[in-house]
Amino acid sequence: MLGVALTLAGSIASVHGADTLISNVLIVDGSGAPPRAGSVRVVDSRIAEVGEVVPGPGDWVINGGGRVLAPGFIDTHSHADDLILERPNALPKITQGITTVVVGQDGSSPYPLADFFRALDEAPAKVNVAAYVGHNTLRSAVMGPDSARAASPVAMQAMAQRLDSELNAGALGLSTGLEYEPGIYSKQAEVLLLAQQTAQRGGRYISHIRSEDRWFEEALGEIINIGRITGMPVQISHLKLAMKRLWGTGPEIITRLDEARADGVDITADLYPYVYWQSNMMVLLPERDPTDLSAIAFVMTQLAPPEGIIFTHFPPEPDYVGKTLVEVAALRGESPGQAFSALAQLSVAWTRDTGEPGDMIIGTSMDEVDLQTLMGWPHANICTDGGLEDRHPRGAGSFPRVLGRYVRDLKLLTLEAAIHKMTGLAARHMGFEDRGVIAVGKRADLVLFDPMTIIDRATTMEPFLPATGISHVWVNGVAVLSAGEPTAAFPGRVLRR
């Protein structure tokens, strides 16, 4: 017979350089086109043939058993940069079918990127890595401990010089985190100056906007204005309506975004499939006063109820991790508001004394109907907003959750529409031209999964449980997951702009 047959249980970790034929699969190519039966041949790192492909001499033939073969998923908002050099296996990523992570999010990035990229060139991860340069990182590098104020023209020019260097290193563009320190202190003129410079260099802009709750409409206006003035693509990070007042306004928000697009603004978004987020306590207090009990009462009633706040990191009292604010308050003999104030003050002191984050919480602030509405917007792609050691289940489950819950169970999206949001659309939003679709000549980032069994298993109580239903993942033509198990290969590449 032609070729060497391998079943789904067979290992293909050792076939570096050999032609691989993945046969008997349902191809969902990432373009949004309907699925079609066929086979895919991979030669070196690229897709060589798609369709009715006959095995050739020396082919390693993998029988897909009728499962779905899709492009590898692209995580357009990832926090894997924290640990990717230490944990290049990237297990929470590959076990949910992710083959490319985009880091440098929310205004924070490895610095300098040239060193980060060089380290990944010398010791690759299992996944591809691209990065934005973070505005907060530049601001901190220039202004140091004096960054809790508006920047002077001299400081802004110093940021611009550092931005230029990071773009030269291959950053995709500029990311901002305008609810976080020190970006929260920046004026719109500062952000626009850096955005214009990024646009002149052919870059892109991605933003955790200034507010996802109290001043959401104004924050939306800022990013639309940046897109209008600069002419470059702008993307809203983890789009959400995180305040009760905003619940039910999804259709109006989409109308506003569509109007901006019709006016020539290339605005897009990514989102993850959960109604709860993860961040620090102080992000809920824009005045940054943890003693303001009236502001905290507003948080409890409008933004995140105490039973929906779960501590995922709290080094001052590690026993609080995994508990809700209600449970912690009961332990302390305090009201939830009093406990929030006391713990926020402990966190601030911890950060001041150690330089390390003093807390991380999950907050339940969104409505499921809004999530589904925003997910259905044609210009929204899927992301995780998760890292490699993330106590929010999004870090291990986002992509399989969409395919299991929102495609198979709820039928909110068709299979081809969901895959498009994870691959072809995500690639377009990041400017990746050779990934995201199964087509001849494209990079062979691929995932093989069972659409009837794929599902997330991670929960807030067991956040590290890997997803099920994904059997094989290839990155640049090399298997990194085979029969559900990681291989010894590390074929990931740095994707520079």
State how beta strands 309-313 and 98-103 pair. unpaired
Cα–Cα distance measured from residue 365 to residue 401, given in angstroms and rounded to the nearest whole number: 19
Angle, vertex CA 158, rays to CA 155 and CA 163, nearest 5: 125
Cα–Cα distance measured from residue 314 to residue 4, given in angstroms and rounded to the nearest whole number: 53
Residue 235 tokens read as 């993307």
* Domain total in the chain: 2
Cα–Cα distance measured from residue 385 to residue 392, given in angstroms and rounded to the nearest whole number: 9
Q: What are phi and psi of 176, to 5 degrees?
A: -125, 150
Is 46 inside any structural domain? no
Residue 270: strand pairing partners: 381
Cα–Cα distance measured from residue 453 to residue 372, given in angstroms and rounded to the nearest whole number: 21
Computed over its alpha carbons, how large is the radius of gyration of the chain? 23
pLDDT tens digits in sequence order for the chain, 497 residues long? 334 444 343 334 333 445 999 999 999 999 999 999 999 999 999 999 999 999 988 899 999 999 999 999 999 999 999 899 999 999 999 999 999 999 999 999 999 999 999 999 999 999 999 999 999 999 999 999 999 999 999 999 999 999 999 999 999 999 999 999 999 999 999 999 999 999 999 999 999 999 999 999 999 999 999 999 999 999 999 999 999 999 999 999 999 999 999 999 999 999 999 999 999 999 999 999 999 999 999 999 999 999 999 999 999 999 999 999 999 999 999 999 999 999 999 999 999 999 999 999 999 999 999 999 999 999 999 999 999 999 999 999 999 999 999 999 999 999 999 999 999 999 999 999 999 999 999 999 999 999 999 999 999 999 999 999 999 999 999 999 999 999 999 999 999 99
Cα–Cα distance measured from residue 381 to residue 326, given in angstroms and rounded to the nearest whole number: 34
Please list, residue by residue across 244-253, b when 16 or more beta carbons sit within 10 angstroms of its beta carbon and e when fewer do: eebeebbeeb
Domain hosting residue 424, numbered range: 73-274+366-431
Q: Does 195 share its domain with 326? A: no
User: What's the CATH number where 191 sits?
Assistant: 3.20.20.140
End residue of a domain, out of 314, 344, 364: 364
Q: Does 317 share its domain with 242? A: no
Cα–Cα distance measured from residue 417 to residue 34, given in angstroms and rounded to the nearest whole number: 9
Element (H, E) at 482: strand 478-482
Mention every residue, 6+ apart, whose C-beta is less than 8 A from residue 122.
Answer: none
**Tokens 């340069």 -> residue:** 133
Is 79 inside any structural domain? yes
Angle, vertex CA 477, rays to CA 486 and CA 74, nearest 5: 75
Q: Does 186 share its domain with 325? A: no
The pLDDT tens digits of the residues spanning 283-335 come to 999 999 999 999 999 999 999 999 999 999 999 999 999 999 999 999 999 99
CA 352 to the chain's CA centroid:
28
pTM of the model: 0.96
